[in-house]
Amino acid sequence: MHKCRRYCLALGLVLSLLATGCATELDGDIQNPGDDKPGDKPGDTACLTVSFSYTPSSNVKEWSKDNIHNVLVVGSFNGYAPSAQSGAIAMTRQQDGSWTATHTFSKREQIHYSFVANTIYWESGSATQTVSDYFGGFFAVKDVCASTPVPERTLVFRYLDNKAPSMKLMGLNGDWNPNGGITMTKYGDQLWFATVLAKTVGMGKHEYKYYSKDVAPPADWRYDPLARITDHTNPEDINNYFIIDSL
């Protein structure tokens, strides 16, 4: 009787250890290789390292007189800010005139991005997958290891002025009060920049304009002739606009 009890207990212990071993294997890297954390297993996060390649278009070369001295990759991963200090990726010029960069991201996600030459010229490059920027252009799309999470759609406002000491974005959600608006940030010598989440504005056609309180009227209110403009005949009534047709 005692021998049987000892035998049963030993057999139970062996079966318990075997079951524990199987559970450990199933709960580890073998069961969910896509959920590995960086450093868990060599090679599992290799897809976090992404290569970018950009060849400026003929328009950019013409505008810059072929003197492109820097190119950055900006996007949803850094708030689209065209500054290396703000997380933009600096590219290196190659002998054939193209620009390349390699960057290791910290997480799996889909990114929307653009190439920015000389802090002024924004292009999506030759990407096969793009998404509308709502202003008639596009952002390139790249999946970093996975297509989720997808970034929130963002409006990126860009206005060029090298003289005004300050600039505001006006008109969003009907805010035309000079004491309101959205304060823009200046990058480089002339780029004024601001971003707004598209969902805070909503679907449809929206008008906007730029305003500098430090400039005498009527030059304090500006529209951007390089962006979409309304068809008003009176120059003082001309506004820029964008269209949100999906979020």
What are the pLDDT digits (tens) for 82-97?
999 999 999 999 999 9
Distance CA(58)–CA(63), nearest Å, equals 9
Give the CA-trace dihedral at 19, 24, 26, 28, to 10 degrees: 180
**Dihedral (C-alpha) 75, 81, 87, 89: value to the nearest 10 degrees?**
60
What average pLDDT is seen over the chain? 84
Q: Quick one: pLDDT at residue 233? A: 74
Percent of the chain at pLDDT > 70 equals 82
pLDDT for the residue 43: 52
Phi, psi of 36, rounded to the nearest 5 degrees: -65, 145
CA 174, distance to chain mean position in Å, is: 26
Write out residues in the chain with pLDDT < 50, as ranges: 1-36, 38-40, 42
pLDDT at 44: 66
